[in-house]
Structure 1
Amino acid sequence: MKLVATDLDGTLVRGDRTVSQRTIKVLHRLDADGIVIVLVTGRPIRWLFPVYDQLTVRPLAICANGAATYDPESDTIVHSAPLETDALAEACARLRASVPGVVFAVERDGGRQMWHEPEFPVGPWEVNHESVGPASFAELLSRPASKLLVRAGAQPADEFTAHVGACLDGVAEATNSSSSGMVEVSAVGVTKASALARVARGHAVTAEDVIAFGDMPNDLPMLTWAGRGVAMANGHPAVRAAAHDVTAATNEDDGVAAYLEELYRY
């Protein structure tokens, strides 16, 4: 395998948001051996820096489920595929008509910023963040969005995602990366797989030479595209069922590092 692609939360990163020393060493060894490493995450750019601060390598990161590809060396977005304003407005209109109590937020510029309706719940780590804040509905629709975030109170994650996806058929892509009931909406055709395929082509690497790790439904396109898609032992049942292989250990127990050590004979 010439390229290693890995999700972050639930995959490379542990529940306390740290990356183990074992994992750090494996990634350093891969980089030294000329293996391309790509971080592929639903995270916005503003959530990447705590991960980069722990690593000894600084690989490209595909963010926002494929909507932005970020180069940490130059602090630039090298490719962007946002929801344009017409599609964003149509998606919100359809959901307002179909989902009682729906509220929205948008990630912009690869997630450097997030603006949300006042009723949209945000995590405590986002409160008072300089790039996160409330905005009117009209303001949310005024610029393209890397992702549209959708909530409607407590919802079963998979069922709610399926409902949102059906509402937005032909307008946008819907997925989820947690059990929180939040749905993440991207432009049509934008997935982790579409962005990873673009990065791989830039390195003259075909899908057959890519190994990808993930744990949640937003990882499914990437895992099925890659020559070897590996689900985490702690992964969503649908992800484990669709993957080519499953790690022996969870993200808490260095599942990715252990798999790569065996694959590359480290």
Structure 2
Amino acid sequence: MEDPPRLVASDIDGTLLRDDRTLSPRTAAVLARINAAGTPVVLVTGRPIRWLQMVYEQLAEPLPAICANGAVVYDPVTDQVLRADPLAPELLAEVARRLRAEVPEVSFAVEIVDSRQMRHEAHYPLRWDADLDAIRAVESPEELLAAPAVKLLARAGEQDPDVFVRVVAGALEGLAEATHSSYSGLIEISAAGVTKAAGLAWYAERLGIDERDVLAFGDMPNDVPMLAWAGRAVAVANAHPAVREIAHEVTGPNTEDGVAAYLEKVFGVD
């Protein structure tokens, strides 16, 4: 891609944000300049909608977001979901059945209402999500799987995520997508064909932009489909080996404004 990109897409955690989940003023300023100059910027994340506000508070203005690993396309200006591609209840039930047979100790949570709410089994370990109004434990497996979910979350104690995701993907082959975006052993499951690439492709087509004109940044395996799809794929230096392997280029780490440094070079801003 020799010409300047027409769309910039970036993962959030581990890519734009520093390790303390803050956005540097430098990165916020670069994103604002590029967007204001006419090149749209979109966030492409595994995060649910309810986790975006803490990012928007650090940006000059809220940016469109492709959430839940591509299952939800969100317009923060109107607070509207432009597109959602959830797992239907009958599909959730089959996914859960297969995984319980393969990994008896597995526990589940679901992102529902376009990822504005979460429901979880009583023994599912919650981490840093403390939005108690949006999160509730369910009393039965049937209740957990009763509503369409944009993402099913699976944990089974302490697991090597690269090993665990292969187990889950093998059990769900042809039925659903399995990936991970952290080193905590959490596996994220979406409907078949739902990936960051699919969500970004839909958004780019809506803008009339070809994948060859998309510049994308990422750091974890859930970013691989997006980076493989985009015309220019850039990994941050702290990226997972699977991301570095398929990226066209590597920029600095998230702790040193790697995305901002790359964008300043490409767009000639400082």
TM-score, normalization by structure 1: 0.98
- Partner Cα distance (2:177, 2:129) in 1: 27
Q: 1:27–1:57: 8 Å Cα contact kept in structure 2?
A: no
Q: 1:242 aligns with which of 246, 264, 267?
A: 246
Q: 2:231 aligns with which of 227, 231, 237?
A: 227
Paired residue for 1:253? 256
Could you tell me how far 1:167 is from its partner in structure 2? 0.2
Could you tell me how far 1:170 is from its partner in structure 2? 1.1
- Partner Cα distance (1:9, 1:224) in 2: 19
1:15-54 to structure 2, matched below 5 A, reads: 15-54=19-58
Change (3 A) 1:244 1:71: same
Cα-Cα RMSD: 0.9
- Partner Cα distance (1:109, 1:20) in 2: 31
Paired residue for 2:112? 108
Could you tell me how far 1:133 is from its partner in structure 2? 1.4
Paired residue for 1:203? 207
Paired residue for 1:121? 125
Q: Does 1:215 align with 2:223?
A: no
Q: 1:62–1:69: 8 Å Cα contact kept in structure 2?
A: yes
For the residue of structure 1 that corresponds to 2:9, the secondary structure is strand
Paired residue for 1:77? 81
Paired residue for 2:265? 262
For the residue of structure 2 that corresponds to 1:262, the secondary structure is helix
TM-score, normalization by structure 2: 0.96
Give the unaligned 5+ runs of structure 1: none
Q: Percent identity?
A: 55
Paired residue for 2:180? 176
Amino acid at match of 1:251: N
For the residue of structure 2 that corresponds to 1:155, the secondary structure is coil
Runs of 4+ in structure 1 over 4 Å off: none
Q: 1:63–1:110: 8 Å Cα contact kept in structure 2?
A: no
Change (3 A) 1:189 1:125: closer
Paired residue for 2:193? 189
- Partner Cα distance (2:237, 2:81) in 1: 32
Change (3 A) 1:207 1:124: closer
For the residue of structure 1 that corresponds to 2:209, the secondary structure is coil
- Partner Cα distance (2:93, 2:229) in 1: 30
Could you tell me how far 1:163 is from its partner in structure 2? 0.6
Could you tell me how far 1:118 is from its partner in structure 2? 0.3
Q: Does 1:68 align with 2:86?
A: no
Deviations 1:193-232 (A, max 9, x none): 0000010011110000000000000000000100001111
Could you tell me how far 1:124 is from its partner in structure 2? 4.2
Could you tell me how far 1:162 is from its partner in structure 2? 0.7
Paired residue for 2:136? 133
Could you tell me how far 1:140 is from its partner in structure 2? 1.0
Q: Does 1:149 align with 2:153?
A: yes
Deviations 1:75-113 (A, max 9, x none): 111100001111111000000111020110000123110
